[in-house]
């Protein structure tokens, strides 16, 4: 495996609301290798989103360490954390958050205009199979196509990591499979390290590794010797 992209050491996140303490992450140790596809599974509230948000620089741990390559994310000022996020991280969420008054092309261009070494919007859209739909508005696209625009937008700045929180959560199986195919295509062609949170256990077949979360911990890790193609999935 290549050099780790993320190294977590005793990563802990505790939320305090009033008298109640919620242990969202408990002493998580983990390495994520470059170019890996990792699926995160586990019941609601087990800590998956908390880990992804900390990795993406959207949140901070209560204690422990998290490195991106050799950069200590837990030690950064807010401004530095924002720069880390801008330069290195792409996000894909369950709901696509596209600007409805802009075409697919323009939604992607919003990001490429401010990125350092971006792809051309048309190339990013071609990578997710949407070159024919570039000039369509979100309302003219299916849910799966809108999610693929969101993926193109997330990867157009060539981020090192792509963090996906339930990217197929709002989709039927056929369109969901196309979205997973698009994520795997980006991983293959750009080498983007990809983490995917899902409630859909079938998706674990496409991963290099599967992390099973329970109660703020990684209770089990499954290694897939070979990844399944997205087209082979059913759910």
Q: Which positions lie near ligand ATP, rule CB under 6 A?
A: 15, 17, 22, 24, 42, 44-50, 213
Q: Where are the alpha helices (DSSP H) in the chain?
A: 48-55, 78-88, 104-112, 121-127, 143-155, 173-190
Cα separation values, 63 from 18, 23, 29, 216, Å = 20, 12, 12, 14
The nearer residue to ligand ATP, 47 or 61, going by C-beta atoms, is 47
Least distance in Å: CB of 170 to ligand ATP? 14
Q: Are 183 and 164 in contact (CB under 8 A)?
A: yes
Considering only CA atoms, which of 42, 48, 164 is closest in space to residue 96? 164
Least distance in Å: CB of 213 to ligand ATP? 6
Dig out the tokens for 5 from the structure. Answer: 């992209």
DSSP state of 166: S
Least distance in Å: CB of 69 to ligand ATP? 24
- Strand, helix or coil for residue 41: strand
The nearer residue to ligand ATP, 51 or 130, going by C-beta atoms, is 51
Least distance in Å: CB of 221 to ligand ATP? 16
The nearer residue to ligand ATP, 42 or 90, going by C-beta atoms, is 42
The nearer residue to ligand ATP, 127 or 171, going by C-beta atoms, is 171
């Amino acid at each position: 495996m290549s050099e780790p992209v993320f190294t977590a050491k005793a990563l802990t996140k505790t939320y305090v609301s009033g008298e109640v303490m919620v242990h969202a992450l408990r002493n998580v140790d983990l390495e994520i290798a470059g170019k890996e596809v990792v699926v995160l599974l586990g019941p609601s509230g087990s800590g998956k989103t908390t880990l992804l948000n900390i990795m993406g620089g959207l949140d901070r741990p209560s204690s422990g360490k998290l490195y991106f390559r050799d950069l200590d994310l837990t030690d950064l000022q807010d401004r530095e954390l924002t720069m880390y996020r801008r330069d290195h991280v792409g996000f894909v969420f369950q709901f696509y958050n596209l600007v409805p008054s802009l075409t697919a092309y323009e939604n992607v261009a919003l990001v490429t205009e401010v990125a350092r070494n971006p792809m051309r919007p048309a190339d990013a859209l071609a990578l997710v199979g949407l070159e024919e739909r570039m000039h369509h508005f979100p309302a003219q696209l299916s849910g799966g196509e809108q999610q693929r625009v969101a993926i193109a937008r997330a990867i157009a700045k060539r981020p090192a990591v792509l963090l996906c929180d339930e990217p197929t959560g709002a989709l039927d199986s056929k369109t969901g499979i196309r979205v997973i195919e698009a994520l795997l295509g980006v991983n293959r062609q750009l080498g983007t390290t990809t983490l995917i949170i899902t409630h859909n256990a079938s998706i674990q077949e496409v991963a290099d590794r599967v992390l099973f979360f329970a109660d703020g911990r990684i209770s089990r890790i499954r290694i897939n010797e070979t990844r399944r193609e997205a087209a082979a999935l059913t759910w």
